[in-house]
Amino acid sequence: MLAVDDRVVMVSGANRGIGRAMAVGLLAKGYLLSLGARQPEALADIARDGMEDRVLAVAYDALDAASAGAWVDATLARFGRIDALINNAGALRHATVEDGSDEDLEHLWRVNAMGPLRLTRAALPHLKRCGSGRIVNVVSLAGKRVRGDNAGYSMSKFAALALTHGTRRAGWQDGVRVTALCPAWVATDMASHAEVPPEAMIQPEDLGELVATVLALPNNASIAELLVNCRFEDTL
């Protein structure tokens, strides 16, 4: 396992849900954090009890193409390195094959596919430089199969899965390892419409533990896809 040794981790969408749980868990394990959110002031309570110097909160909006590079630059200015990137920020809108606006489809594409791509492009040279860079893309089981009628959301997550495998190829020789984290229903506000009760869903803190394990694995123990379910499915 890799030692933490003040490794610097960028986490997008860290102000709530899965991203927040990951940030809290990684901070407790000794990582330095650069947290991106549209409202960075919502991250203030993560850096407390003497941990202020270990956390950087930066404004990041997946819809703003320039904010990816600006966040990477701010991270380097504060910590001088980047060891891992967690592409967690995502959007959920409903668009079926037969119904759904172009606006909703474009929003899903820009946030769930283009957002992670831009951050990856900005951070990848620095992840290559450290020799053991890590990227975790929070994809969803919707990027592995289409279970309901929300084909638009699945299309954007299938693209995020393709980005994962493309980035694995691009960074492999330089020690960058990339994992697609594909959970089913997670007990966050984005799952408020689910047919599964919150207590039966995956808990965000458990995903945080899985991500911490992926970040710590050595280069010769790479996990390409990590599928996490809260119920039985024949093919998953």
Query: Among all residues, which ones are annotated catalytic?
Result: 153
Interaxial angle between packed helices 151-171 and 102-109, expressed in degrees from 0 to 180 and rounded to the nearest 10: 20
Structure tokens at 193: 């419409």
Provide the residue type at 136 as one letter. V
Q: How far apart are CA 46 and CA 55, in angstroms?
A: 8
Q: How far apart are CA 39 and CA 175, in angstroms?
A: 33
Q: Which residues lie below 8 Å from residue 234, measured CB to CB, with a gap of 6+?
A: none
Structure tokens at 146: 């289409």
Whole-Å CA distances, 54 to 2, 127, 164: 19, 19, 28
Q: How far apart are CA 190 and CA 185, in angstroms?
A: 9
Cα angle 147, 148, 152; round to 5: 105
Q: What is the CA radius of gyration of the chain?
A: 17
